[in-house]
Amino acid sequence: MDFEFDTVGTVSVANGSTEVVGTGTNWVANYPGLELNIDGLNYPVKSVNSKSSITLVHPFPGQTATNKAYTIVPVHPNPNTVTQSVTTMIEKSADLYERALDIIENGVDGGDSAYETAVKNGFVGTEQQWLDSLKGRDGSQVGLGAVVNIKEVAPIPPGASGYQLIVPVTVGDPPMNLTQTAQVIIPTDKPDSGIAIWAKSTTSGLAVVLGLVNAPIPLPPGSDEELDLSGSGTVYGDPGTIFPLGIYLAGSTANFTLTSPSGFPLRIERRNDITVPVASDWTITNAGSPWPVSGDAVGASNVLYKRVYGSTDGSAMTNGRLRLMKGVYLITDPLGLTFKQTTDDGTTQTPPSIKMTFNGVVNEEYPILATMYDYNVGKFELRRHWAGSSTLVVTIGRGNSETQIVSADDPAFAAGSLKSWSVEFIDNEGSPGGTVRFYSNGVQIGPDQTSEVKLRITPSMCLECNSSGNNTSDSQNNLEVAALNVAYGRPDVQSSYDVAASGPISAADLQMLCVDARGFSTPQAPVTVRYQAAGQDPYGLEVVVGDMIVPSGRAFKVVLEDWSSGEGVAHPNELIMTRPAAQNCRFEDTSLYGAQAPWTEVLPKGAVPNIGGINYYCEGIRMGTYVQFQLGYDWDTTTMPSNPFGDPQGKNSYMVPHKWLIYDNAGTLLGRIEQPNGQPLNTTASPVSWSGTLDGRANPMVTAANKWYPKGTVRSGIIWRSHAEPPAYSQQDIWNRVPTYDVAVPFGSQGAASVNGGDLRAGTGEQLTRLIHQKCPEGLAGVA
């Protein structure tokens, strides 16, 4: 064996095993026709599995050994001779080849070129036509490149599987007429990549296959539709439902004329704001935490927990009630209570009415009986008061403003026996402040009292007992708890529907148009609804009762590929992006309203992929031929019952290695979202923290030459666009038109800046502690 194929690194073998493991090796996967030589003995190779793995044909008969020197050799006789012969032929013909090119293009010693000589001798046509007319003896096309005649290839020696050839490569387009072509792209940033040339017999002849080794698959070209941003003039809705047309007129007060197809169920929605009484109870029946919730004020998974500050838990069941000691408290997950938001900080998120109730026995001091607290945002706290032997006090808070209201001094509020004590806030809608009432065992005690501050309740507030904002500094001993309760008036809308007939219609009614498709059980043929202002062109809106139709070539669905096993496995829950979430969308800003065509926002139909408690979802925008998908990740409600609020401690927030694939409705791949090197997102090699330069706000300074593809966490996102260069507003235009806010977002990040999507685990030790106390004075409990 006078030709060494590979000796780099060492190998480890085991007696009776066919597996060979390389250390520091760089073998070419799937290379056939080899033998492994160890200590002068050859062992036939069945397959080369990777850079460091080989499978032998037969089990290794020698002794188990590690870090052995080796040689890999081809099984056919010395192909080096073939390579040297080809090299010599190329070297000897190079000068002649270059001389021939010079004569053809420039003539001999500055004389006429070969084409010019042909023209003088009667050839009629262009230089390219003359080149195309050149034929060899066998009638084949003569070209200015390397031509391999398969018939002249010598028979392959027994046991061999091919030849090694050195082929010259010329930069530029082929100067010959190629009857068959295949193009591969070798990434310039992948030094270990190369071209693989394979030959195999077929019924039509010998097939030569070109491929790439150690190179990513090229990305799909995307949509070949011409970019059209004229907007979406179609509204979709399911049979059996009521769906709005989504018309928005940017504050217009003009009168319009409506044209509706005869018999089509077009309606005007009339909305009336109402409140629906709801309540939830947490009843303690044993010492085991958590305790379930009943009622309809909060979600069914919002249980009540016992928490202990410190190392001592002196709580116990007493007379069927849980006795809390100092440092021991009760708390739910965020309640998720949602009330009307406005731009007025003095009124936003004020509940129409809300009541908190404590049921139990107070034996000592002035404990916090029930509280809902969002630091520096809102506070609703009930406790015993020291201003009398039998009084309660409630704190109503909004931002930096708080007011305390003390109840009547009444024996109904005396300590020492089982009582049910409540406090209720009732909003003075349209007027300052609100009304406060105190109750004992369901009976109001004392007169109505006035609160100068309107109560603010946010979705992130929890219900607590014997603490406030996880702070137990005011907790007391021997507080016996039987139950806690929250009741409020849930804001709702009651709708009725008037027939919308063709003819005059106000702008207000036009914006409330909807389709009452409850009388349809199957899809219907499209119809057109038109409206027109005086002196303006009519606007036609196509209405479809049925599924959204997406033409071939346009993004239709998204498929998640799970690469946890090292290979892509398509998740069965495909994201079919045809469920309208909002239609005929327009900017409310007057200047942007006319600058941007309407669009449709879509969500997937059916269940989204879920892996390890994390949902992999998608939201989309459709506008003309333009499609934009935002791919995102978040915990499901089982993993995080109060999502998007709740404590992430102990929950895995890293997604599995994965890729996203975008298809049209014919199954054509339009896009693939992966790392630029072809690897999946979130591989084990993906760095969690940025180690490069940070800007003045502690954000990574990523450049084209210094890229960073971090390990993503839940609540991060990726945007895919169907067209690479859609017309865009300039950054200055965005600053001028769109209001922007520079606010601290309650997420930790590596550089001690508060940035949405950051991961608390990216920081360590002192840095992380400093971040928490800078942003959340109450400590870790204040970090969402």
Using the predicted structure, report yes or no on whether residue 707 has a pLDDT greater than 90: no
Q: How far is CA 6 from the centre of its chain?
A: 45
User: What is the distance between the alpha carbons of residues 93 and 86, in angstroms, rounded to a whole number?
Assistant: 11
Report, as an integer, the average pLDDT of 438-461.
96
Using the predicted structure, report yes or no on whether residue 166 has a pLDDT greater than 50: no
Largest CA distance in the chain: 127
Report, as an integer, the average pLDDT of 50-64.
90
Would you state the structure tokens that stand for residue 138, as one six-digit string?
């066998």
Of 358, 313, 377, 28, the C-alpha closest to 193 is: 28
Sign of CA dihedral 754, 760, 761, 763: positive
Report the pLDDT value the prediction gives residue 175, as an integer from 0 to 100.
Answer: 64
DSSP 159-185: T-----------SSS-SS--SS-----
**Higher pLDDT among residues 61 and 214, named by residue:** 61
- pLDDT band (50, 70, 90) for residue 727: low
User: What residues have CB less than 8 Å from 464, skipping those under 6 apart?
Assistant: 329, 330, 331, 332, 368, 370, 371, 372, 373, 470
Query: 3-state DSSP call for residue 383?
Result: strand
- Give the mean pLDDT of the chain: 80
Query: 3-state DSSP call for residue 658?
Result: strand
Using the predicted structure, report yes or no on whether residue 260 has a pLDDT greater than 90: yes
Report the pLDDT value the prediction gives residue 592, as an integer from 0 to 100.
Answer: 74
Report the pLDDT value the prediction gives residue 221, as an integer from 0 to 100.
Answer: 74
- pLDDT band (50, 70, 90) for residue 75: low
pLDDT tens by residue, 506-548: 999 999 999 999 999 999 999 999 999 988 889 899 999 999 9
Query: 3-state DSSP call for residue 37?
Result: strand
pLDDT tens by residue, 389-403: 799 999 999 998 999
pTM more than 0.75? no
Report the pLDDT value the prediction gives residue 697, as an integer from 0 to 100.
Answer: 64
pLDDT tens by residue, 581-597: 999 888 877 777 777 78
Report, as an integer, the average pLDDT of 749-773.
34
Report the pLDDT value the prediction gives residue 738, as an integer from 0 to 100.
Answer: 64
**Higher pLDDT among residues 768 and 269, named by residue:** 269
**Higher pLDDT among residues 646 and 723, named by residue:** 723
**Most confident residue range from 65-69, 570-574, 776-780:** 570-574
**Most confident residue range from 143-152, 186-195, 451-460:** 451-460
pLDDT tens by residue, 188-223: 656 666 666 666 666 666 676 666 666 667 778 777
Report the pLDDT value the prediction gives residue 542, as an integer from 0 to 100.
Answer: 93
